[in-house]
Amino acid sequence: MYISSIEVADFRNYVRQTITLNDGINFVVGNNAQGKTNLLEAIYLCSVGKSDRTPRDKELIRFGSSKALIRLIANKEYETSKVEISLFADAPKRISINGMPISRMGELMGVVNTVFFSPDVMRIVKEAPSDRRRFMDIALCQMSRTYFYLLTRYNRTLMQRNRLLKSGVVDDALDVWDMQLVESGARIIKTRRGFIDSLNGVIGSVHQYLSGGRESLHLSYEAIEGDSVEAVGAAMKKRLIEDRDKDRLRGYTHSGPHKDDISFMVGDMDLRTFGSQGQQRTASLSLKIAEAELVARRGEKPVLLLDDVLNELDLERRKRLIERVASYQTIITCTHIDEQLNILNPHKIMIKGGVALVEE
């Protein structure tokens, strides 16, 4: 798939702007604080329904305005979709697809598939487990609306159980919530484990390519064990009962998919703890490319969003990255185009103060 155009009005520092894109490599070029990242944020918003930078939609509205608008045209092999998002300072956002309002966020999943790279994402290996869980969940939600609804149900149940723990509820009441938590939690764990297994079928070759053949990377999903949903559910139920005293004491649930993690192993070394900064960056990059290739194998290629990532890499890795993603629509923000990358016919968009000055 590829995005042919995006229109923004009163979004961040944009007054009104329509930008056309080609289906290859697009450079969004400009000095810092001109609106390059804001453009990627608008695309990402049309993909997953929320910003990657803030949970508060009103922060996305241009200062002095009461609402903002984003329109995006996405093209797949057999269909074209128009996603429109209206943001309001004093009301919930509204989303429509091809002119039809959606009532549930899950309806947006899979319409515009993106894989997002940023300096923060490049540090995913060394950051907190919550960042790695977020990576799994965003990828899986775009691949499966069923997973999106499953995760939503689990999080709501978890919130209710934690609220009850703080109130000193009796075991009989907890049993009811534990049953619901296990029902969705076991399926989440099984789905995530399958996702990591699939990534392992891709990431080894990706990482060897990016590292120049010097390293082989393997992922391990750290979660409650079990070969089936039933086995995971039984183990999770047992763990919840064992942890009840501790859960009551601290007022939150200690076991379940909300505590899971991913390890990044090069041989016997876990990069989360012992990897160098360069190794961690390359592993993070391998993870995102493997995600893109896995999505592509399931159907349409996703759109790649690279926000100021090239500056994080040496020239060799920049070249290898560009070579690996050459068949995808890729939108890259940068302060200048590195001529040493030898990219044929890049589409260049100059941004200054939220205005697209030049398109080539």
Question: What is the secondary structure of 196-228 as a DSSP string?
Answer: HHHHHHHHHHHHHHHTTTS--EEEEEES---SS
Average pLDDT over residues 283-294: 95
Measure the CA–CA gap between 220 and 85, rounded to whole angstroms.
37
Cβ(125)–Cβ(288) below 8 Å = no
- The pLDDT assigned to 358 comes to 58
Integer angstrom CA distances of residue 244 from 159, 237, 258: 15, 11, 16
Its CATH architecture, for the domain 1-113+301-360, is 3-Layer(aba) Sandwich (3.40)
C-beta separation of 114 from 304 below 8 A: yes
pLDDT in tens, 48-107: 999 999 999 999 999 999 999 999 999 998 899 999 999 999 999 999 999 999 999 999
Could you tell me the sign of the dihedral formed by the alpha carbons of 321, 77, 359, 43, in that order?
Answer: negative
- Using DSSP's 3-state secondary structure scheme, residue 230 falls into helix
Where are the CATH 1.20.1050.90 domain residues in the chain? 127-299
Kindly give, in sequence order, each residue whose CB lies less than 8 Å from that of residue 157, ignoring residues fewer than 6 positions away. 177, 180, 181, 184
Ordered DSSP codes for 9-56:
EEETTEEEEEEE--SSEEEEE--TTSSHHHHHHHHHHHHHSS-SS-S-
Decide: 11 and 61 in contact? Cβ < 8 Å: yes
Q: What is the mean pLDDT of the chain?
A: 93
Cβ contacts of residue 153 below 8 Å, gap of 6+?
180, 184
CATH number attached to the domain at 127-299: 1.20.1050.90
Q: What confidence score (pLDDT) does residue 359 get?
A: 53
The boundaries of every CATH 3.40.50.300 domain in the chain are: 1-113+301-360
Q: What is the DSSP string of 62-104?
A: PTT-SEEEEEEEEE-SS-EEEEEEEEESSS--EEEETTEEPSS
Contact 6, 18 (CB under 8 A): yes
What average pLDDT does this structure show over 132-140? 96
> Tell me: the pLDDT tens digits for 156-203?
999 999 999 988 776 788 899 999 999 999 999 999 999 999 999 999
Tell me: pLDDT of 360 over 70: no
Q: Which helix (H) or strand (E) holds 290?
A: helix 277-297
Over residues 260-267, the mean pLDDT reads 96
Confidence band for 239, pLDDT divided at 50, 70 and 90: very high
One-letter amino acid at 335 equals: T
**Lowest model confidence (mean pLDDT) among 23-27, 208-212, 270-274, 345-349:** 345-349
Cα 1 off chain centre by? 17
pLDDT in tens, 203-230: 999 999 999 888 899 999 999 999 999 9
Instruction: Say how far apart CA 151 and CA 10 lie, in whole Å.
Output: 32
Higher per-residue pLDDT: 360 or 47:
47
